[in-house]
């Protein structure tokens, strides 16, 4: 049986509230797990990591907030550094899973970077869980490092690389086919697991400065994902963030020029706060 035939086979989903790999494990709320299993169609799985331009993290957070997604579980892994995050003083797992029943959408949100050279076991564990839930399409997001970019005034171009089963569907919505290239990092580990299993993997790409957050890049990718997969999204908030970051950069540049003209030392400033 060839790979394409295997991918097209229907997988009978099994409720898996706990799945453990060698260095990673996934814990899911039992009731939500059963709900995922009962869906007529496989959930769409979108994964956001803390990479170039923080595009994956920004995008995943925006989906969680706008679609009022419910946290259904978390991911633990020795591939992640010992970092904990909190919101309004409340501690949260840095790697969380969310679900939106109406749009049958699972979002994975990781807010901390991986340890260098790690993530293979975590990717395998996460994709084994996806297979157990009958998931078929897995979408990753990645910024293409370009230090010449500050904050754009125009929409960021969106590219996509995907397996044949879903590539034409994505390209039909104005997404560009990228030239030959390499994908590295956690997204590559996820996509390799998709290639080796009954999962259709895709990565949405857009240029971003590795030293600046890119809400405009996240907005451009979200718009295309919304067109392709039919979930609603508003871009005003993300585009406003981009405008505010640009204004802070302009203010900082003006202050820097003034300091240089007076030969005074430059005081450090956080342009994102």
List, as one string, the DSSP characters of 161-183.
EE-HHHHHHHHTTTPBPP-S---
Question: Model's pTM, two decimal places?
Answer: 0.83
Cα 164 off chain centre by: 21
Taking the C-alpha atoms of residue 54 and residue 208, their distance in angstroms, rounded to an integer, is 9
Name the percent of the chain lying above pLDDT 70: 82
Taking the C-alpha atoms of residue 50 and residue 208, their distance in angstroms, rounded to an integer, is 13
Q: What is the pLDDT of residues 28-57, one digit of tens each?
A: 877 676 667 667 788 999 999 988 989 999
Q: What is the pLDDT of residues 4-36, one digit of tens each?
A: 334 434 444 556 666 878 888 999 877 676 667
Contacts with 207 (C-beta within 8 Å, 6 or more apart), sequence order: 143, 144, 145, 146, 149, 156, 157, 217
Tell me the CATH number of domain 13-236, given options 3.60.150.10, 3.30.230.10, 2.30.30.90, 3.40.50.10900: 3.40.50.10900
Taking the C-alpha atoms of residue 39 and residue 136, their distance in angstroms, rounded to an integer, is 13
What are the residue boundaries of the structural domains of the chain, listed by start?
13-236
Q: What is the pLDDT of residues 78-134, one digit of tens each?
A: 888 888 888 889 999 999 999 999 999 999 999 888 877 778 899 999 999 999 888
Q: What is the pLDDT of residues 208-231, one digit of tens each?
A: 998 888 999 999 999 999 999 999
Q: What is the pLDDT of residues 163-183, one digit of tens each?
A: 998 999 999 999 999 877 889
């Amino acid at each position: 049986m060839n790979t394409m035939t295997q991918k097209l086979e229907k997988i009978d989903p099994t409720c898996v509230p706990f799945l453990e790999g060698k260095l990673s494990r996934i814990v899911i709320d039992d009731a939500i797990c059963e709900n995922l299993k009962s869906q007529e169609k496989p959930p769409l799985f979108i994964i956001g990591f803390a990479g170039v331009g923080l595009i994956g993290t920004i995008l995943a957070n925006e989906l969680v907030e706008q679609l009022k997604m419910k946290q259904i579980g978390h991911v633990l892994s020795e591939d992640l550094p010992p970092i904990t995050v909190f919101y309004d003083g409340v501690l949260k797992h840095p790697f969380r899973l969310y679900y939106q029943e109406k749009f049958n959408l699972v979002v994975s949100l990781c807010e901390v970077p991986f340890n260098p050279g790690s993530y293979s076991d975590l990717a395998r564990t996460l994709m084994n869980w996806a297979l157990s839930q009958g998931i078929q399409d897995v979408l990753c997001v990645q910024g293409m490092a370009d230090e010449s970019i500050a904050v754009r005034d125009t929409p960021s171009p969106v590219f996509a690389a995907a397996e044949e089963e879903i590539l034409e569907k994505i390209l039909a919505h104005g997404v560009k086919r990228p030239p030959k290239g390499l994908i590295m990092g956690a997204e590559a580990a996820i996509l390799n697991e998709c290639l080796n299993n009954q999962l259709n993997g895709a990565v949405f790409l857009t240029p971003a400065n590795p030293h600046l957050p890119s809400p405009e890049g996240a907005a451009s990718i979200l718009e295309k994902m919304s067109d392709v997969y039919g979930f609603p999204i508003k871009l005003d908030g993300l585009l406003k963030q981009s405008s505010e970051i640009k204004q802070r950069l302009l203010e900082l540049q003006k202050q820097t020029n003034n300091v240089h003209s007076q030969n005074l030392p430059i005081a450090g400033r956080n342009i994102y706060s």
